Amino acid sequence: MQIKETDFGQDYHLITIENKNGVELSVSDLGARIVSLKALNRELVWGFDSAQEYLDNDLTIGATIGRTAGRIANGRFNIAEKTYQVSQNSGPHNLHGGMPGFESAKWEYTVLNGENEASVLFRLTSPDGTHGFPGNLEVEVRHTLTRDNLWRVTTRGVTDEATLFNPTNHVYFNLSGDLSETIDQHSLYLNSNSFAPIINSGITDGTKADVRGTPFDFQQEKKIIDFFNSRQPQSEIVDGIDHPFFFKQTGLRFMQAKLTSPDEKLAIELFTDRPTVVLFSGNFGKDYYLMRGKKVGRHQGLTFETQFAPGAERFSSFGNIVLPPDFPKETITEYKINFKE
């Protein structure tokens, strides 16, 4: 495994790992983020060429998100019958744990190289009271590339006071090789028979809806354009997909999703121990980013944000995101990169 460290600007660093198959993973201590993932000489994810461009445009792209991913309704939650009020940075709601958050931080890092895989281990302390969250939270995020073309994200948290912990990575995929192309000709499979409807303010309503007979059914692989053309009321709320999907089984042994490039030469397979993935199809309206010389925006990327469904702090059926004191929790998500010349 080859590792290269370079200057990313503004006192941040870019660390690139390459395996013998020509797969490259680049990450940065700005937000413990993925900046680049390459195979077949293609760029597979959204990313900017410098730290300054993230600071000027959007710090969530490719970043570690936390303490909690998604929206907390009205910024309020209860732990052990005590009510907490956290920052409201998305209308009345808390989004992605409040900003600045994990995505804005400069993380300490260590490079770890081995025969079969190499990793960058990032560390961060989120002090008690950050955006109103209780507990001093110690977080580790490990980005790993293996010799077998697997990108693994391992996230660990431990706190000294009960708090919420529901992190994710906010990667955007576009496997076409041209980030300015829409994702509508990509094919998508999901191991999911239910999703969480959302209401107009972007929060979940606590229900689980059956995907059968709806455009949200990806249990058989299909082109994403079929969804975009559906004009289903739930998709019109957000102009695309911005919904949690519940997996039929949980555990790393199950392939939970598969995204295939339009030319079918490259596919990403998703494995995770989380019960839910939030898909977001870059619903930016007429706004766009100038990224690596291309205009990138609406429906030109798809996230796979593995987590517990947003709303879990209110709805027990979505899972438990309370992190008890002195009880470390770890989550793993893997992206298997398959390609043919």
CA–CA gap between residue 324 and residue 316 (Å, rounded):
16
Residues designated catalytic: 170, 305
**Composition of the chain by helix, strand, coil, percent to 5:** 10, 45, 45
Burial class (CB in 10 A: 0-12, 13-18, 19+), 94: buried
CA–CA gap between residue 234 and residue 240 (Å, rounded):
8
Render 181-229 in DSSP notation, one character per residue: S-STTSEEEESEEEE--B-TTS-B-S--EE-TTSTT--SS-EEHHHHHT
* Beta pairing partners, 126: 137
CA–CA gap between residue 80 and residue 136 (Å, rounded):
18
Say if residue 100 is preceded by a cis peptide, omega within 30 of 0.
yes
* CB < 8 Å & 24+ apart, contacts of 211-214: 211/245
Q: What is the dihedral of CA 183, 189, 193, 195, to 10 degrees?
A: -30
Radius of gyration of the chain (CA): 19
Hunting for tokens 């744990």 — which residue is that? 97
N-terminal to C-terminal alpha carbon distance within the chain: 21
